[in-house]
Structure 1
Amino acid sequence: MHVVMTSAGIGRIEDGAVAVLDAPYPDPNTVIETTGSLDALGGAKVVRRIPLDGDELDLRAPLGRPRALWGVGLNYHSKAERTGRPAPDEPVLYLAGSSSVSAPGAAVRLPAEETVQMDYEAEIAVVIGRTLDRAAESEAWSAVAAITAANDMTARDVMKRTGTPALAKSFPGFTPLGASLLARDAIADPDAIGVRSWVGDERRQDSSSADMIFAIPELLARISRYAALRPGDVVLTGTPAGTGQDRDDFLRPGDTVRIEVDGVLPLTTHVRA
């Protein structure tokens, strides 16, 4: 199932259109928190259809404000090689403020008083559907409800100055999520999910989850050793080489970043002064 949140309500993507549903939930994340998956939307009545390429479609953040927003640093071999750092033995984990989440198409302010190194990071975001508490790697993937695209924006100079990922990543709007959710059952192989980024018309990143140092099931299992993952929690799974940090070329007002993750709608973010 492929799900979006629109100004008209929750919708399923079907035959080039959004089928807006008569569903008793404010957003898809509430469906996941309540039922553990998106399956409850499968039989919901369709009340209207909006063309995907029409002007009527107004996409909103499909996950609202997740209760927990986990991230991992240096989780692609290509990124480690580009930076000259060894692959870590343990994932480098952090929590970001959920107030940083923004909607597809949002204009995110460059906080110039704090940073001159605003960076983009194309990532596969995983939405938890069932509690994972000291889970085995073999059971972790079955606890996933859906995936989506994320732009894990980072103020690199703030990271260096403070040593605190949460501060470098929690500015308002710095975590765009969306534009749609793809249910786990629609994903053939969690180790073959493509992820790409563009700044303007230039492709900057192009990789897949096959290059991850800690594959998605292993990453979730490792987090769950120390902190229980609950339904609706979101885990950002790292970014491949090609970020602004790698190129010494950071975002500027007027830039547009597009993130693509296989199976979901593109996630676009605009940078404003």
Structure 2
Amino acid sequence: MKFLTFKKGGFLKLGIKTDLGVLDIEKAGASFQTELPTKIEDVINKKATSLEDLDAVKKQALESKNCELFLEEEEFTFGPAVTKPGKIICVGLNYKKHALESNMPLPEYPILFNKFDNTISAHNQVINLPFNSTENDYEAELAIVIGKEAKRVSTDEALDYVFGYCNANDLSSRDLQFRTNQWLLGKCCDGFSPLGPYLVTSDEIGDPNQLQIKATVNGEVRQHSNTSDMIFKCNEIISYISDHMTLRPGDVILTGTPEGVALGLPEGERVYLQNGDEVTIEIEKLGTLTNKFKQEV
């Protein structure tokens, strides 16, 4: 299933994308007199009902053809695909060609850093570029969303702990990122982790290590690769992280970005994000995540 959140009456609501539009889960529950989760975090944590029950409600709604239960995406404002991650863990230099363009050796272990929930933003949200940065970069990434507690899980079993996947843009202010040898400052600006538009359950994705991934800036393709170029595959990343910290439902892992970021170009050819730019991240089976940018003053 393809879950999403949308804003209504000042609150975030839960929806499922269908062929008839977006099913409003709150309305569906009231219509069918069924207790259903109203928040994406409750779905991930499997509170109130199971995915199988939600799928049954979706089918019932589609069979009813009750147009009052469905919304068109143009009618609402998207919320983040994941609203309250406990942890946001990121993997640096995880694509072979990206490491090469950065003139860095392939890492022996996954390079981990973190972001915070202030960075979470949504599809179509306008994101501010920091007032004290002129080197803001885009990074198309596959995001893994954990679905059950994982501690010291094997690589063979790691994908069983995944709830689903979504598009992410690991935005980075390079001049802030490399101000010191710690990357945190340039990675944790407000809104710098847009997720969405959908959170797609793992059963619809198949092998996450075989997905086309692309970033366009103002319609120009800047990144175009495949997750098969990852140095550490999704199952290896989950297993490695779980060896050192417990992963819990709702935790988000950003798996790295392919070649084509501005930083990977020779210094005189780097074109960083500017006021009014529009970036779209597209990953096979996950839809397209688009954001516009506004320069803070």
Q: Which moved more, 1:230-239 or 1:154-163?
A: 154-163
Partner residue, 1:144: 162
Q: Which amino acid aligns with 2:273?
A: L
TM-score, normalising length from structure 2?
0.86
Partner residue, 1:28: 40
Partner residue, 2:98: 79
Partner residue of 1:19 out of 6, 11, 23: 23
Q: Structure 1 residues 124, 38: CA separation in 2 closer, same or farther (over 3 Å shift)?
A: farther
Q: Does 1:193 align with 2:219?
A: no
1:29-178 residue pairs with structure 2 within 5 A? 29-35=41-47, 38-44=51-57, 46=61, 48-52=69-73, 55-113=74-132, 115-178=133-196
1:211-250 residue pairs with structure 2 within 5 A? 211-247=229-265, 248-250=270-272
What CA distance in whole angstroms lies between the structure 2 residues aligned with 1:156 and 1:27?
Answer: 35
Structure 1 residue 27, shift from structure 2 partner: 2.4
- Give 5+ residue unaligned stretches, structure 1: none
Q: Which moved more, 1:29-38 or 1:191-200?
A: 29-38
Partner residue, 1:3: 3
Contact 1:66 1:232 survives alignment (8 Å): yes
- Structure 1 residues 32-62: Cα deviation after superposition (integer angstroms, max 9, x where no partner): 024597545323364611234xx31322112
Q: Structure 1 residues 30, 167: CA separation in 2 closer, same or farther (over 3 Å shift)?
A: farther
Contact 2:81 2:166 survives alignment (8 Å): no
What CA distance in whole angstroms lies between the structure 2 residues aligned with 1:79 and 1:30?
Answer: 36
What CA distance in whole angstroms lies between the structure 1 residues aligned with 2:52 and 2:80?
Answer: 19
CA RMSD of aligned residues (A): 1.8
Q: Which moved more, 1:29-38 or 1:228-237?
A: 29-38
Q: Which moved more, 1:249-258 or 1:154-163?
A: 154-163
Contact 1:140 1:218 survives alignment (8 Å): yes
What CA distance in whole angstroms lies between the structure 2 residues aligned with 1:96 and 1:77?
Answer: 23
What CA distance in whole angstroms lies between the structure 1 residues aligned with 2:43 and 2:264?
Answer: 38
Q: Which amino acid aligns with 1:6?
A: F
Q: State the secondary structure of the residue aligned to 1:203.
A: strand
Q: Which amino acid aligns with 1:82?
A: E
Q: Which amino acid aligns with 1:3?
A: F
What CA distance in whole angstroms lies between the structure 2 residues aligned with 1:175 and 1:199?
Answer: 17
Q: What is the percentage of aligned positions where both structures have the same residue?
A: 33
Q: Structure 1 residues 267, 190: CA separation in 2 closer, same or farther (over 3 Å shift)?
A: same
TM-score, normalising length from structure 1?
0.93
The number of aligned residues is 270
Q: Which moved more, 1:15-24 or 1:56-65?
A: 15-24
Structure 1 residue 84, shift from structure 2 partner: 2.0
Q: Structure 1 residues 16, 76: CA separation in 2 closer, same or farther (over 3 Å shift)?
A: farther
Which has the larger Rg? 2
Q: Which moved more, 1:133-142 or 1:246-255?
A: 246-255
What CA distance in whole angstroms lies between the structure 1 residues aligned with 2:163 and 2:188?
Answer: 24
Contact 2:20 2:70 survives alignment (8 Å): no
What CA distance in whole angstroms lies between the structure 2 residues aligned with 1:111 and 1:98?
Answer: 17
Structure 1 residue 112, shift from structure 2 partner: 2.2
Q: Which amino acid aligns with 1:92?
A: I
Q: Which moved more, 1:33-42 or 1:174-183?
A: 33-42
Q: Structure 1 residues 169, 201: CA separation in 2 closer, same or farther (over 3 Å shift)?
A: same
